[in-house]
Amino acid sequence: MEIKYIEQEKTFMLSNGRISYAFSVEKNRYLMHGYFGRNIQNYRGISRPYFYDRGFCSNPIPEERTFSLDTLPQEYPDMNQGDFRSPAYVIQTEDGRRVTRFYYKNYRIIRGKPILPGLPSVYTEDDEEALTLCVELEDKTMNAGIALYYTIFRDYDAVCRHVEVINAGKQELYLERLMSMSMDFPGTGYDVLTMTGGHMNEKNLNRRPVSSDSVVAESIRGCSSPQATPGIVLMEKEAGEHSGEVWGFQFVYSGDFQAVVQAGQFKSTRVQMGMNPLTFGWNLKSGERFVCPETVLVYSGQGLNGMSHTYHSLYRKRLCRGIYRDKERPVLLNSWEAFEFHVNEEKCRTLAGEAAKLGIELFVVDDGWFKKRVDDKRALGDWTWDREKFPGGISRLAKDIRSMGMDFGIWFEPEMVSPDSDLYRSHPDWIIRSPDYEPVLSRYQYVLDLSNPEVCKYVIHSVAGLLEAADISYVKWDMNRHMTDLGSFYLDGKQQRELSHRYMLGLYYILDTLNRKFPEILFEGCSSGGGRYDAGMLYYMPQTWASDNSDAICRMKIQYGTSLFFPPVTMGAHVSVSPNLQVGRETPLAARFTIAMSGNLGYEMDFRILPEKEKETVKEQIAFYKEVREVIQKGRFYRLINPQTGNVAAWNFVSEDEQTVIYCYAQILSEAVQVNTPVKLKGLRENWNYRFLQDGSCYGGDELMYAGITAEPVKKDFISHVYIFKKEGENRK
Ligand code: DGJ
């Protein structure tokens, strides 16, 4: 891994032997993007664009008619010097002008990767793992700087980029638009992949060509949202799951964002990722610095799977933190689908008793445990145990669960408040709203104003109080509405545009404080399912409930899409009842298990009334999962056939030591015309033999990967198979 500056060509080059990133300083002022892709040993810039004199092109250097920023592949473009494409930043001066001139000033190389204060980010454990380049731009008139950071890793084919804006002058500046990164690719012959969806329908993959205008993926909901994901992929036209060049861009942030893919008139493609200018604005006082969250850029020459592998291993090892980063995740039972709000001590104890017999390791009491919470109309914010439902309090139930040999976990929704709550009655000014209008309700609740440090203090205090009072080893942290009425009683008039980002900073502060205070607790993020399933949250909570839709078929599609950026170990996935509560579909227990065991297995059903035969099956499923979970939670995941576009799904896992392979196949609906299409596994060693554990037969890795496996035709809907292969003997060659 190295970062060098080649004086002769004024070029910066970052490389790790597998990928390279290059850009240069043009006319001693402007940063021109050069290259991001497969490793190049000595990038000299033969692919640089030629300059032409073109119509309507402005010339920042008057005597050079051929030089125009509109035609340049830029590294961090501004708005007022003739590049009319999407700018990376817009900064307003005190007199309301938005004209800036940031020019290249200098650079420095830092060992390791600096942390981003108050924000989630990819980290290193020692300085040998990464090198960081910081390039400074300066506007001398304004006396302000922009620092661009680029980190290259020894072990991952990723580059992290973020920016900082520094106000060294006397006047106050206003940041109106701020992207974490911008990059111009040559040509427009790409496809762009985004993720869209909604509640119970998260992470649908949408691939479309880059044409002559822009694709914008964004959220203004106060969170990354189920409707969008702060991650996009640019792909060569011919790239697919396993081949071709793809470039991933993922924002490590959980709030509003904007991702732009813009085709330029001279056939270039600009990609940007950063703060959403509709809900972002920041007053930067004299002497202050603003840090924009980072974007993780991944290059893969092996299609989408190759890209996913980099994100998966980087996030699993250097974004997730705490003891659960490396620890096996427990099999849990969550009370929600069994009891909804009607939990009580006795019901939980008897359900837990059944769960323990089946091998469950963690019992979670979901919503409904706190004072007066009988439905979703009340009590959020009053985080005290309901003594009527739980006469022995939190500690007695936790103790009982422990004595059954399980861990105990609990649900919270700490960012919210119900109008019918003691908290709201005593602090009506603690919610996000404008003083002039009645705030809009959603799920009968308001969002607390986490830009206010007092509110953050209350949240920390109330959650920590409960966590200290009992033996709790897991928290499900929910968030069930989006932001409206963007106004804060705490912030002054000028700061109102800062609210959305200040909310996120407040939330990150709360989570960081709780992480430090309770390092033993496993936190699972949730926002009515995968509504805030993003890289920012994974920094504080190493797993996320992937969707409120627990139907096996819908879940299969959602988890398949989720895996584009996020490793299976981060996905909470539960077996629930049939017919399914969300879609009414009846599916076999086996199919429900195949999907749920492909993430962090859990159950969400009333074991007290489950027929004995099914209980036996559940017991076997859990025992089976415990045997293979290391492969699922730490192994490599390969998408083979996409159920979002067809009737069949297939995927396989390969363990870290490569000796175990788990192959899963599912057919959604039975078809009259059965076709024999073998599925080719991925990631095996071609010259190893693998024993198929279910029947003892043995196959070469080459056959399993190149000829594939044909599924036995079955005339039934919702068929699924799980095959386990183990390496057998030595190399055959
Ligand atoms: C939404 C979550 O996604 C559900 O799993 C459940 O926890 C409910 N909230 C409880 O209100």
Residue type, 656: E
Cβ atoms of 157 and 310 within 8 Å: the answer is yes
Q: Is the pLDDT of residue 730 over 80?
A: no
Q: Which atom of ligand 1 is nearest to the CA of 527?
A: 3
Q: Is the pLDDT of residue 674 over 90?
A: no
Cα–Cα distance for residue pair 32/75, rounded to 1 Å: 5
Nearest CA to ligand 1 atom 10: 367
- As a whole-number percent, the residues of the chain with pLDDT over 90 amount to 97
Clarify whether 548 is annotated catalytic.
yes
Per-residue pLDDT at 695: 95
Tokens of 590: 């086996």
Q: Which residues contact 609 (CB under 8 A, 6 or more apart)?
A: none
Cα–Cα distance for residue pair 347/352, rounded to 1 Å: 8
Q: Closest Cα to residue 559, out of 639, 496, 455, 647?
A: 639
Cα–Cα distance for residue pair 242/300, rounded to 1 Å: 10
**Distance from residue 347's CA to the centre of ligand 1 (Å):** 19
* Residue 193 main-chain phi, psi, to 5 deg: -115, 125
What DSSP character marks residue 538? H
Per-residue pLDDT at 123: 98
Which residue is it, tokens 């994901």?
A: 229
Residue type, 259: A
b/e per residue 431-460 (b: at least 16 CB within 10 A): bbbeeeeeeeeeeebbbbbbbbeebbebbb
β partners of residue 545: 572
Q: Which atom of ligand 1 is nearest to the CA of 548?
A: 3
Mutate to test the pocket of ligand 1, among 339, 343, 367 (most ligand atoms within 8 A of CB): 367
Q: Is the pLDDT of residue 601 over 70?
A: yes
Residues flanking ligand 1, CB < 6 Å = 336, 366-367, 411, 478, 480, 526, 528-529, 545, 548
**Distance from residue 519's CA to the centre of ligand 1 (Å):** 24
End-to-end Cα distance, the chain: 34
Cβ atoms of 69 and 30 within 8 Å: the answer is yes
Nearest CA to ligand 1 atom 1: 528
Q: Is the pLDDT of residue 733 over 90?
A: no
Q: Which burial class, exposed, middle or buried, applies to 182 when counting CB atoms under 10 A from its CB (0-12, 13-18, 19+)?
A: buried
Per-residue pLDDT at 675: 85
HSE (CB half, 13 Å, CA atoms) of 97? 8
Per-residue pLDDT at 294: 98
Residue type, 196: T
Tokens of 708: 């594939």
Region 356-373 average pLDDT: 98
Cβ atoms of 376 and 478 within 8 Å: the answer is no
Nearest CA to ligand 1 atom 5: 548
* Residue 510 main-chain phi, psi, to 5 deg: -60, -50
Cα–Cα distance for residue pair 309/298, rounded to 1 Å: 10
Tokens of 17: 């032997």
Cα–Cα distance for residue pair 497/486, rounded to 1 Å: 8
**Distance from residue 528's CA to the centre of ligand 1 (Å):** 5
Residues in the chain: 733
User: Between the CA of residue 110 and those of 2, 130, 314, what are the distances in Å?
Assistant: 11, 9, 20
pLDDT tens readout for residues 253-301: 999 999 999 999 999 999 999 999 999 999 999 999 999 999 999 999 9
**Distance from residue 281's CA to the centre of ligand 1 (Å):** 32
Per-residue pLDDT at 313: 98
Cis peptide leading into 678, omega within 30 of 0? no
Per-residue pLDDT at 212: 79
pLDDT tens readout for residues 523-578: 999 999 999 999 999 999 999 999 999 999 999 999 999 999 999 999 999 999 99
Q: Is the pLDDT of residue 63 over 90?
A: yes
Catalytic residue among 139, 478, 534, 551: 478
Mutate to test the pocket of ligand 1, among 342, 416, 444, 545 (most ligand atoms within 8 A of CB): 545
**Distance from residue 41's CA to the centre of ligand 1 (Å):** 51
User: Between the CA of residue 80 and those of 58, 92, 101, 271, 379, what are the distances in Å?
Assistant: 10, 12, 8, 19, 52
Tokens of 197: 């969806």
Per-residue pLDDT at 732: 62
Tokens of 600: 């962090």
Per-residue pLDDT at 567: 98
Region 628-634 average pLDDT: 98
User: Between the CA of residue 235 and those of 37, 47, 311, 362, 700, what are the distances in Å?
Assistant: 12, 19, 16, 41, 33
CA torsion through residues 491, 497, 498, 504, sign: positive
Q: Closest Cα to residue 116, out of 255, 299, 295, 287?
A: 295
Nearest CA to ligand 1 atom 11: 367
Catalytic residue among 70, 400, 407, 548: 548
Mutate to test the pocket of ligand 1, among 335, 442, 480 (most ligand atoms within 8 A of CB): 480
pLDDT tens readout for residues 205-244: 999 999 878 999 999 999 999 999 999 999 999 999 999 9
HSE (CB half, 13 Å, CA atoms) of 447? 28
Per-residue pLDDT at 179: 98
Region 430-434 average pLDDT: 98
Cα–Cα distance for residue pair 50/65, rounded to 1 Å: 13
Region 418-446 average pLDDT: 98
Confidence of residue 438 (pLDDT cuts 50, 70, 90): very high
Averaged pLDDT score across all residues of the chain = 97
What DSSP character marks residue 703? I
Q: Closest Cα to residue 574, out of 622, 536, 631, 640?
A: 622
Cβ atoms of 563 and 510 within 8 Å: the answer is no
Q: Using CA atoms in the order 263, 267, 273, 277, what is the torsion angle rounded to 10 degrees?
A: -50
Which residue is it, tokens 């190295």?
A: 2
Clarify whether 606 is annotated catalytic.
no
Region 124-128 average pLDDT: 98
Which residue is it, tokens 């890209």?
A: 307
Residue 14 has a CB neighbour count (10 Å cut-off) of 24
Confidence of residue 676 (pLDDT cuts 50, 70, 90): confident
Per-residue pLDDT at 731: 61
* Helical residues (DSSP H) of 495-588, grouped into ranges: 499-517, 535-538, 552-562
Q: Using CA atoms in the order 609, 614, 615, 620, what is the torsion angle rounded to 10 degrees?
A: -160
Give the pTM.
0.98
